[in-house]
């Protein structure tokens, strides 16, 4: 009897693991698609000269505010919207972010941006793997990192008025630690969503869950990239 129970438990555990793997793959695929779209739009903006027009006009601030609005709206209303709407908002945000992110090509060299991107990918990948394999519960760390994120936002707003290069470097250094930690935390959280049975809750729920997970990881990657670029990026003369 005990052998049969152990066998059944093992089967259920394997099924949960397989469901989690499938869900994680779906999330990472959407995240990768978002990053690819951002890169394509940024390249087009630079090549067409659109980046210069954006950087020299109030449109840049408007685009930043529009991005923030899309993220908050998606996160707050995803349960009440259709899966297609959530997907469209994520795609739209990734494209819009490509426009605003393209201004980094005006400040940093292409070589510096490419090198920092590779470093970001390596760090992100390492922490993603850690989040998938660690047995440690990272939920407490997530609360601490969220408070750190709020502190970063407030410090960044203050430094918009102070213009302190020292504070800017400090914000970037702390930001790297925060987003490295958030990467591991978010991956573990997404893995647990898969283990808890989201794959059996219908196609719409799965898609919306995947989009939210992809958005979280996309933001972790982009912000880690920006922080590293601020620290180590080579500026144009």
pLDDT value at 2 more than 60: no
Counted domains in the chain: 1
In a domain, 237, yes or no: no
Confidence (pLDDT) at 96: 94
Q: How confident is the model at residue 5 (pLDDT cuts 50, 70, 90)?
A: very low
pLDDT exceeds 60 at position 10: no
Q: How many CB atoms lie within 10 A of CB 127?
A: 21
Range of the domain at 38: 2-232
């Amino acid at each position: 009897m005990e052998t049969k129970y152990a066998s059944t438990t093992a089967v259920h555990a394997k099924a949960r693991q397989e469901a989690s793997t499938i869900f994680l793959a779906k999330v990472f695929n959407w995240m990768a698609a978002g990053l690819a779209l951002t890169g394509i739009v940024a390249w087009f903006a630079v090549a067409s000269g659109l980046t210069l027009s954006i950087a020299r006009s109030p449109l840049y601030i408007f685009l930043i505010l529009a991005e923030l609005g899309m993220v908050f709206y998606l996160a707050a209303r995803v349960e009440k919207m259709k899966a297609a709407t959530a997907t469209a908002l994520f795609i739209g945000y990734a494209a819009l972010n490509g426009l605003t992110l393209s201004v980094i090509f005006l400040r940093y060299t292409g070589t510096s941006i490419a090198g920092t991107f590779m470093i970001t990918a390596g760090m992100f990948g390492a922490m993603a793997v850690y989040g998938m394999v660690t047995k440690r519960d990272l939920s407490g760390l997530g609360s601490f990192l969220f408070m750190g994120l709020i502190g970063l936002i407030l410090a960044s707003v203050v430094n918009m008025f102070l213009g302190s290069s020292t504070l800017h470097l400090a914000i970037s250094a702390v930001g790297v630690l925060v987003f490295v930690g958030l990467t591991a935390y978010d991956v573990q959280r997404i893995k647990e969503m898969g283990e808890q049975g989201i794959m059996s809750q219908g196609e719409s729920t799965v898609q919306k869950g995947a989009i939210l997970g992809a958005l979280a990881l996309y933001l972790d990657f982009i912000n880690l990239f920006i922080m590293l670029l601020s620290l180590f990026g080579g500026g144009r003369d």
